[in-house]
Each structure stands twice: as structure tokens, then as C-alpha cells.
A and B are shown apart, each in its own frame.
Chain A
Amino acid sequence: MTCEHAAPSLSALVDGELDAAAQPEVFAHLQSCAACRAFLADALRARGVVRRDRDALAIEADAVLPARPPGARRLASAWRAPSPALAWATFAIGVAALLLAAGITIGASAARRGAESAPRPAQEASTPGDDDANVVYVCSMPEYRVVSTPLPDAPK
């Protein structure tokens, strides 16, 4: 066997891909050929260096690549449209909430206007103060209304 024929087989030998039938001839050539032995030694040394690069690449891949595939990420963040029935129910609840809030607001302001325009007998009996205090006063002490009625003339 010549070096020209042996060399490709040496590469396959390094990779564990050399046919068993071809191995005796290649080993016999190796015993007598220093150049081919040097090629084999270089292949093994180079593999060591390449493996260090491979290890570095694994670290690089973790730093560069996202944790999830692009398709899965899109799925995870995808917004799903609600069903029509759920959409209508949500809309109806929203409208009802708005109407309720508007009713409360209108009712409260009407009550406040009514309270302000109505005669406040209690105010006459009370000490001057702010309106809120008077309202509370009237509500909590209705008996003071009696005080506001005209008193009988004093006996002469």
C-alpha cells in the first residue's frame, strides 16, 4: 500500500469509519511509514484543539440564542380573540356599569341641589357653620325643628 492510498483511510481510521476488512493493510502500512504516522498524530492533536473550540461554541450559543424558538415565542405571546358570546357579555356588563355610575352621579347631585334649595329650619337654631355640618345636624337632630316654629308671645 502506498501513502497515496493509505492517507484517506487514515482519516477514516481517526473517525472510526474504516472498514474492518481494510484495517490490517492500513496498520501494516503505518508500521513502515513515518509520514502517515505523523498524519495520524496530527489528526489526534487537531481534534483536541477543535474540541476546545467546540466547548467555547456551546457557551457562545447559550449567550447568543434565545431560550425559546421563534415559533413558540409567538405562540406564547399571541392574543386570542374572545368568543362572540363572551364579547357581548363583556360589552353588556360594561354598559350596565356605566349606566349605574351615571345614575348614582345624577341622583346624588339632584339630592344635593334639593337639600340646598329646601328651607333649613335647623340652620336658624344652629350656630353658623358650613353646609355639610348643618345637613348632618338636621338629619341627626330632627327635634330642633320644633325649636324653629314661632314661639308663643311671652306673657305681659
Chain B
Amino acid sequence: MTTDEALVRALRDGDDHALATLYERHRHALYAYSARMLGRAEEARDVVQDVFADLHARRATLPALRSVQAWLFTIARHRCLNALRAQRDHARLAPRPADVAHADASAPVLAGEEVALVRRALAALPDDLREALVLREYLDLPYAEIAAITECSESAVKSRLFRARQQLFERLHPVLHEGEAS
């Protein structure tokens, strides 16, 4: 299988099929990251498309990348953070996701609702904690790569993941301990 780095070199040399291969290879992960960071499918789709439009536009001047995946996620991350800022600017008076998640966490969980509860609980986490958890749990990225994408140290990643899990477990208590309650 052709490596990502070789595909980027081919793209730089004018092989546009390389772009389609990179897209096929990374679109699910980028969508998962963007969807869980932003909470909206349409915005996540736009981020993924923007990332590849950006890659295509800059193909002639792409530098030699150590990790193409990390580079793609770095672009997606900046776009997600900008979109989150825009969301907050436009919805200061709307109910915060945290309030909704706490309210739902106290209610009984029916079968099939646990995925929706996980999504609400994730949305209620602070951005930096949610980001670390999504990169780890949804994308299985190692700590070193999470640190590179989020521009922090590996020990900071470790600490964020611990705090993210603490808060997530608190909100998911009805799901995680459903059998014990009955």
C-alpha cells in the first residue's frame, strides 16, 4: 500500500488521483473528530471538505510532511476551533450543552439511548478535554500523536484524558451502572 507521504509527493507532482486516495483513507477519521468537536453533521462535513480543498489548493507548495494524518488533523482542528468560537458568539443566550447533559443524566436511560447520551455528555466537556478523548477513543491515536495535533506535551495529554474520563463517567453514570441500579 502506498504511504500517505508518497501520496502527498505524488500530489505535489501533479497526480490528482492521490488526493482521492488520501480522502478515502482519512475522511472517516476527520469526520468523526469534527462531528464530535462541533456536534453538528453539516459543520463537520464542511470541515472535512475544507481540509481537502485546502490540501488541493496547496498541493504545489506542500512541504515534506512527517505525518500526513497529523497535518490533516491540525488543519481540521483550527477550523473546528474557529467554528466553535463562531457557535458561541452566535448562541450566547442558548441553553448550554452542559445543562442539557446534566438534566438528561439524571433521567432513566432507555435501551438505544445510550449513544445519544454519550454524544450529549461529550458535548458538555470542555473543548480541550473533549478533543483529547475523541482523538484517543474514537481514533485510537497514540499519546505522542495527540500531543502533536493539540500542540501540548504528552503528560498534558495524559492529564486531560484522565480529567475527561472523570467528567464523562459522572455524566454517563446511568449508562455505566444501569444493571446495578435494578
A residues bordering B, Cβ < 8 Å? 7-8, 10-12, 15, 17, 39, 42-43, 45-47, 49-54, 56-58, 60-61, 64-66, 68-72, 74-75
Closest chain B residue, CB of each to CB of A68 = B20
CB pair B165 A11 closer than 8 Å: yes
A-B pairs with CB below 8 Å: how many? 114
Q: In the assembled complex, how far is the CB of residue A36 from the closest CB belonging to chain B, in whole angstroms?
A: 12
Q: In the assembled complex, how far is the CB of residue B63 from the closest CB belonging to chain A, in whole angstroms?
A: 18
Question: Chain A's interface: helix, strand, loop or mixed, by majority?
Answer: helix
Assembly CA distance A7 to B166 (angstroms): 10
**Extra pairs beyond A50-B118, A71-B16, A71-B57 (4, CB < 8 Å):** A43-B169, A49-B114, A61-B35, A69-B23
Q: In the assembled complex, how far is the CB of residue A8 from the closest CB belonging to chain B, in whole angstroms?
A: 4
Q: In the assembled complex, how far is the CB of residue A75 from the closest CB belonging to chain B, in whole angstroms?
A: 5
Tier of interface size on chain B? 35 or more
Question: Chain B's interface: helix, strand, loop or mixed, by majority?
Answer: helix
CB pair A69 B172 closer than 8 Å: no
Interface of chain B residues 143 through 175 with chain A (CB within 8 A): 143, 158-159, 161-162, 165-166, 168-169, 172, 175
Assembly CA distance A43 to B176 (angstroms): 9
CB pair B169 A75 closer than 8 Å: no
Q: In the assembled complex, how far is the CB of residue B153 from the closest CB belonging to chain A, in whole angstroms?
A: 13
B44, B169, B175, B176: the one within 8 Å of A64 (CB): B44
